[in-house]
Amino acid sequence: KKAKEISVLCDAQVSLVIFSSLGKMFEYCSPSTTLSKMLEKYQQNSGKKLWDAKHE
């Protein structure tokens, strides 16, 4: 809910992945993008490789 609010209030693209202490995954991604696109954007802007080309 808060990730969606930040997305709307700040006119920003938001992606969030959370794992509970029991290992359950929760995720949110702004409607205007995908998690894959956000990770690609992160990789380009940070200069950090998140995965090898063989895993794409």
- Kind and range of the H or E run holding 2: helix 2-9
Backbone angles phi, psi at 26, to 5 degrees: -125, 140
CA angle, 47 then 17 then 44, to 5°: 15
Q: How buried is 13 (Cβ within 10 angstroms: 0-12 exposed, 13-18 middle, 19+ buried)?
A: middle
pLDDT tens sequence across 13-26: 999 999 999 999 99
What is the pTM assigned to this prediction? 0.68
pLDDT digits (tens, 9 = 90+) for 18-47: 999 999 999 999 999 999 999 999 999 998
Domains defined along the chain, listed by start: 1-33 (3.40.1810.10)
